[in-house]
């Protein structure tokens, strides 16, 4: 196409034997003899230009090429990919094949030129790149691929696909929960790529999804044949608090706890185990939601149908507590036949009983059948009817005004509940505990468990109530005390406590308590009495019927002042009387002298005149 005139002073050339020679001619003429130049047409020129351009290969790092093995050394394999220079591939990357000159091999360009200007290629990285592209393709197409499980890792297994490690989560191994991962290591299985992370070049595969697909087709086929009342075989695959899930051969069904046994059970695991095979009946199913309800107890006769005909109202049987509610306990006579013992049927007493304290699950009780309805399958049980009703002769045994001893079982703010005997109890009102003291709560006088004596004050047989009194054991002391605490009398008292109503409780002799207002607690010095102060009080009011009286300290010293003043007035009056008497005495003497002794006065007058004359 052209020629070059001149050239370097020395040039390395290749002769026909492919050996290197070097020209020593500094002025070597590279010109071409024009007589040997061939002329080409435009079309031929274009053809040869294209061939010339295609003889060059444009490469970039990370690109895969198909090359040929040119030579093999002890450490490397020389591969030509049509580039200006051949590339080197480590011999370690050919362990899986026999290396021969001329064989084709796919390699990836690691580096076009390293520090030595050498083209670096990698067969292994080319394989990994192609494998990753294949995995991406499988994720898009959903195609099934065969992989080998190489090892176990946390939470799952490692699966090798095309030389790349992928992750198989434990939840994606099988439709059933898997606990032993070691059994799968080394196995070859079918998988589906379900998730890709291109950033870290990680893939997640699943074997379970393939099983579910097969099961889906089986499920659709089975649902088409399924009928209510059909008996099928299933395997227990999972147990929960509310029931058990059974595998019906690709179709799952739920066996509720209430459909496992005619008897009451607290948890399905009492009768079922994982992988246990059972015959169950199809109770119901939903084509849309694909839910199937199963029954086990329905395969056996109902216990009510086999209940002994000799059992009737009034029969005594032993039963087991299977459930407890606030209103009573459910007791099982035979598995599947149970009745209710209402709290009102536990004891003849009116004492409130907590059924949860009385009944314990699994306990056995002897009971009497109070009511039985075989058609409605209902039984009412009773414990108290095992013994005669003690209230039948209550008025004879606990006549009014008779004394009895009982045990304090319970108390409220308004009274104390006494057990006189099993099934018979009464109440002592808080006001009937003592004649003299008032209590805010019965616990200030008696404690639960203590024995106490009481008198029957009233019997209400219809409502099963007995009214008791404790203070009535002794004579009412208030009648006698009225003569002691007369109005106006003064007694020593102690201020016990003050209340929020503007008054105070005063402790008086004989254990009595009186009331005084703040106004009546003032001392002679104008100060108010304090708690625990012991002073004199005057009785201002005493009510026997109401059992209360009022006192005053203020009136004590006010009364003293009045008494002193009255004494002064009396003394002043006496002085006046004495003075008047003296005056009258003098006057009487004067009158007597004037009227009765005139001669003496005449003689005295004469003597006085004689002295005056002298």
User: pLDDT per residue over 5-54, tens digit each?
Assistant: 343 433 444 444 444 444 444 444 545 555 566 778 888 888 887 777 66
- For residue 587, which phi and psi values (nearest 5 degrees)? -65, -40
Contact 574, 566 (CB under 8 A): no
Cβ atoms within 10 Å, residue 510: 11
Residue 383: predicted pLDDT: 92
Residue 155: predicted pLDDT: 87
Residue 20: predicted pLDDT: 44
Distance between CA atoms of residues 238 and 247, nearest Å: 9
Residue 603: predicted pLDDT: 64
For the chain, residues with pLDDT lower than 50 are 1-28, 30, 590-596, 598
Question: Rounded to the nearest 10 degrees, how much is the dihedral formed by the CA atoms of 348, 353, 358, 364?
Answer: 30
Report the alpha-carbon angle 25-31-35, nearest 5. 135
Indicate the pTM of the whole model: 0.41
Distance between CA atoms of residues 311 and 174, nearest Å: 53
Report the alpha-carbon angle 439-446-403, nearest 5. 105
Question: Rounded to the nearest 10 degrees, how much is the dihedral formed by the CA atoms of 164, 169, 170, 171?
Answer: -140
Q: Which residues contact 181 (CB under 8 A, 6 or more apart)?
A: 152, 156, 157, 170, 173
DSSP result, 383-420: SGGGS--GGGGHHHHT-TT-EEEEEEEEEETTEEEEEE
Give me the helix-helix angle, 598-613 and 554-596, nearest 10°: 80
Residue 526: predicted pLDDT: 80
Residue 380: predicted pLDDT: 93
Residue 569: predicted pLDDT: 58
At 65, is the secondary structure helix, strand, or coil? strand
Residue 570: predicted pLDDT: 61
Cβ atoms within 10 Å, residue 167: 17
Residue 201: predicted pLDDT: 82
Residue recorded with tokens 């002799």: 509
Contact 155, 170 (CB under 8 A): yes
The distance of Cα 448 from the centroid of its chain, to the nearest Å, equals: 34
Residue 321: predicted pLDDT: 92
Structure token digits, residue 167: 């992750």
Residue 56: predicted pLDDT: 60
Q: Which residues contact 311 (CB under 8 A, 6 or more apart)?
A: 317, 333, 369, 372
Distances (CA, A) of 170 to 153, 187, 484: 10, 15, 96
Residue 371: predicted pLDDT: 92
Nearest to 176 by CA among 219, 215, 223: 215
Contact 333, 265 (CB under 8 A): no
Residue 455: predicted pLDDT: 92
Residue 1: predicted pLDDT: 33
Regarding beta strands 145-153 and 188-197, do their DSSP bridges make them parallel or antiparallel, or are they unpaired? antiparallel
Distance between CA atoms of residues 74 and 488, nearest Å: 136
């Amino acid at each position: 196409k052209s020629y070059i005139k001149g050239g370097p002073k020395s040039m390395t050339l290749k002769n026909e034997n492919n050996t290197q020679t070097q020209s020593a001619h500094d002025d070597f003429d590279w010109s071409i003899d024009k007589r040997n130049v061939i002329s080409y047409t435009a079309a031929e020129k274009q053809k040869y230009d294209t061939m010339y351009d295609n003889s060059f290969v444009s490469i970039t790092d990370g690109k895969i090429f198909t090359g040929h093995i040119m030579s093999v050394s002890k450490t490397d394999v020389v591969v030509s990919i049509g580039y200006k220079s051949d590339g080197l591939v480590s011999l370690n990357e050919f362990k899986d094949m026999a290396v021969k000159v001329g064989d084709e091999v796919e390699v990836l360009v690691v580096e076009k030129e390293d520090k030595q200007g050498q083209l670096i290629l990698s067969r292994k990285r080319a394989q990994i790149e192609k494998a990753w592209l294949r995995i991406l393709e499988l994720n898009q197409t959903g195609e099934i691929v065969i992989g080998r499980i190489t090892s176990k890792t946390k939470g799952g297994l490692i699966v090798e696909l095309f030389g790349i490690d992928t992750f198989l989560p434990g939840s994606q191994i099988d439709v059933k929960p898997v606990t032993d991962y070691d059994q799968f290591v080394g196995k070859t299985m079918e998988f589906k790529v379900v998730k890709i992370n291109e950033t870290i070049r990680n893939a997640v595969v699943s074997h379970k999804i393939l099983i579910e697909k097969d099961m889906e087709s089986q499920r659709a086929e089975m649902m088409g044949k399924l009928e209510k009342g059909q008996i099928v075989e299933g395997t227990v695959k999972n147990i929960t608090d509310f029931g058990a899930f059974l595998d019906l051969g690709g179709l799952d069904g739920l066996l509720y706890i209430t459909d496992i046994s005619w008897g009451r059970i607290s948890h399905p695991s009492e009768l079922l185990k994982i992988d246990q095979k059972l015959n169950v009946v199809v109770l119901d199913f939903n084509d849309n939601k694909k839910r199937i309800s199963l029954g086990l107890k329905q395969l056996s006769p109902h216990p009510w149908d086999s209940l002994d005909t000799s059992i009737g109202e009034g029969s005594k049987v032993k039963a087991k507590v299977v459930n407890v509610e606030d209103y009573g306990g459910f007791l099982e006579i035979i598995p599947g036949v149970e009745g209710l013992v209402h709290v009102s049927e536990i004891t003849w007493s009116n004492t409130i009983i907590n059924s949860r304290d009385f009944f314990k699950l699994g306990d056995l009780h002897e009971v009497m059948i109070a009511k039985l309805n075989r058609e409605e399958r209902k039984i009412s049980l009773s414990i108290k009817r095992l013994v005669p009703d003690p209230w039948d002769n209550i008025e004879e045994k606990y006549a009014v005004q008779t004394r009895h001893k009982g045990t304090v079982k319970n108390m409220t703010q308004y009274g104390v509940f006494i057990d006189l005997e099993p099934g018979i109890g009464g109440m002592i009102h808080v006001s009937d505990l003592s004649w003299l003291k008032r209590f805010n709560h019965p616990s200030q006088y008696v404690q639960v468990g203590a024995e106490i004596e009481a008198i029957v004050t009233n019997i209400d047989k219809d409502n099963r109530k007995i009214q008791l009194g404790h203070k009535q054991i002794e004579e009412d002391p208030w009648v006698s005390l009225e003569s002691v605490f007369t109005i106006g009398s003064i007694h020593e008292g102690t201020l016990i406590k003050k209340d929020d109503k503007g008054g105070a409780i005063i402790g008086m002799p004989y254990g009595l308590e009186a009331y005084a207002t703040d106004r009546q607690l003032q001392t002679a010095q104008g100060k108010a009495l304090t708690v625990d102060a012991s002073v004199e009080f005057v009785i201002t009011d005493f009510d026997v019927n109401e059992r209360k009286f009022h006192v005053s300290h203020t009136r004590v010293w006010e009364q003293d002042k009045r008494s002193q003043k009255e004494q002064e007035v009396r003394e002043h009056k006496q002085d006046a009387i004495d003075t008047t008497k003296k005056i009258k005495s003098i006057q009487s003497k004067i009158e007597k002298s004037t009227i009765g002794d005139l001669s003496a006065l005449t003689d005295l007058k004469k003597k006085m005149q004689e002295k005056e004359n002298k």
